[in-house]
Structure 1
Amino acid sequence: MAMSVSMPLGGVQVGSYDSYEQAQAAVDYLSDEKFAVENVTIIGSDLRMIERVTGRLTQGRAIAAGAAGGAWWGLFVGLLLGIFSTSGTAWIGSLLLGLGIGLVFGALFGWMGYRATQGKRDFTSTSQIVASRYDVMCSPAHAEEARAMLARFSLRG
């Protein structure tokens, strides 16, 4: 019976950083030094979801956001339909018609979406997943070389 040793996902740890930008800079340094970066993995640990509330969502804001999105789609459809127009006036007409219809339907759908939530989530926000630590991992065959290079990288400042 063959024995096997479990290898951590990504290989052997060759560096650990507080931010993704620092880990990315370390891997970029390895790449600049002509290291075989296809053997490198960045692993984020202790993940957290951070949601930042950006404002209050009112019926007016929901309608305005829907109208803006609908206007863009209407403009796009108007441009596509304008390809088949025979004159400049017809092209502008299809553009304005698409814009107007998109604006109205977007506002209507924005209002319906707002009403459907029944005030359960009347705020806007952005969310992101962040890790408390980012480990740079490397395949065992190249780990010592990567560690030596990253030691020089950390001495750079």
Structure 2
Amino acid sequence: MTSPLSGAKKFGLPTPPTGWPIGAYPTYAEAQRAVDYLSDQQFPVQDVTIVGVDLMQVERVTGRLNWPRVIGGAVVTGAWIGVFIGLLIGIFTGQLLEPLVTGIFFGVLFWVVMQAVQYAASRGQRDFQSTMQLVAGRYDVLCNPANAERGRDLLARLAEGH
């Protein structure tokens, strides 16, 4: 009898990382540099995994949200969507100007109404813009046990500056 998750790799389902730790780094860039160094040393990097540990969701506030900013952003976004749809229709109809102008007009109208309703419904509960990121407290480099000792030795040489 097989497990219902026996096909996890085949279907790309998440699986926990395996391997022995050969390095730990405070930033992803440093972990990436370490793996790049291993690759430069002809190390079998297909046996290596970078794992983010102590994950945090970070929301960085980018500015205050108000009516002019909501409407202005909606106009720009709606215009871009309208340009895309107008050009798409123009390609299939053989005309360009009329579908483009119509697409921009209705794109802006639709997007402004949609964003205005959404902002008004929030009733000031979220008067700021932000971006979200998933970051790790540290990044571990794991390796297949068969090559872990060699990988650890190479990364120690990197740390020493060789």
What interval of TM-score do these two structures reach, taking the shorter chain for normalisation?
0.7 to 0.9
Question: Following the alignment from structure 1 to structure 2, what is the Cα–Cα distance between the partners of residues 92 and 72?
Answer: 15
Asked whether 1:60 is paired with 2:68, we answer: yes
SS at 1:38 equivalent: helix
Structure 2: runs of 5+ lacking an equivalent: 1-15
SS at 1:121 equivalent: coil
Q: Deviations over 1:118-137 (max 9, x none)?
A: 21111001121222211111
Q: How far apart are 1:92 and its partner, in Å? A: 1.2
Question: Following the alignment from structure 1 to structure 2, what is the Cα–Cα distance between the partners of residues 137 and 10?
Answer: 7
Structure 1 ranges of 4+ moved more than 3 A: none
Asked whether 1:22 is paired with 2:9, we answer: no
User: Which of 85, 104, 122 in structure 1 is aligned with 2:127?
Assistant: 122
Structure 1: runs of 5+ lacking an equivalent: 1-7
Question: Following the alignment from structure 1 to structure 2, what is the Cα–Cα distance between the partners of residues 99 and 81?
Answer: 12
Tell me how many residue pairs correspond in the alignment. 147
Which residue in 1 is equivalent to 2:53?
45
Which residue in 2 is equivalent to 1:3?
none
Which residue in 2 is equivalent to 1:137?
142
Name whichever of 61-70 and 117-126 sits farther off: 61-70
Which residue in 2 is equivalent to 1:91?
96
Q: Deviations over 1:93-121 (max 9, x none)?
A: 21111111111111111101101212111
Q: How far apart are 1:14 and its partner, in Å? A: 0.4
User: Which of 15, 19, 24 in structure 2 is aligned with 1:11?
Assistant: 19
What TM-score results when the alignment is normalised by the length of structure 2? Answer: 0.84
Q: What is the Cα-based RMSD across aligned positions, in Å? A: 1.6
Q: How far apart are 1:9 and its partner, in Å? A: 3.7
Q: Bigger radius of gyration, 1 or 2?
A: 1
What TM-score results when the alignment is normalised by the length of structure 1? Answer: 0.86
